[in-house]
Amino acid sequence: MTSDYISPGKTTLTPDVLLTIARQSALEVEGVHSMAPVRVAVKDLLGHRSDGVRLSIEDSQVFVDLFLVLESDVNIREVSRTVQAAVARALTEMTGLEAARVNVHIEDIFHRPEA
């Protein structure tokens, strides 16, 4: 494909696609155990949310809140920053939309039962 290509149509993305990209990108980061349920305030009812991710889209910018459960033996700050970078990069590379903000909320720590 050349850079002079002009599309005969358009491509649309549903918010579910963005939710999936954000969720999968976060779960791939080492130290993330799982997604936590999204806590919903009345003021947040208009946003899109699913399985540990809440997002809104404004002027081709994506604002993401991730609700995570981390492994017990990780540096929370490092994992959070890695998640932010991974999610922002995936959203931009896969959709062309700018991740204006990626907020990480650590909701719990998972402790593996001792054998």
**CATH number, domain with residue 77:** 3.30.70.1350
Query: Distance (Å, rounded) from C-alpha 49 to C-alpha 19?
Result: 7
pLDDT digit string (tens) for 54-93? 999 998 899 999 999 999 999 999 999 999 999 999 999 9
**Number of structural domains found in the chain:** 1
The predicted pLDDT at position 5 comes to: 75
Which residues have CB under 8 Å from 26's CB, separation 6+? Answer: 32, 35, 52, 53, 66, 68, 83, 86, 87
The pTM for the full model equals 0.84
Determine the structural domain holding residue 21 and report its residue range. Answer: 15-110
User: Is residue 2 assigned to a domain?
Assistant: no
Structural domain contains residue 115 = no
Residue 24: its pLDDT value, please? 97
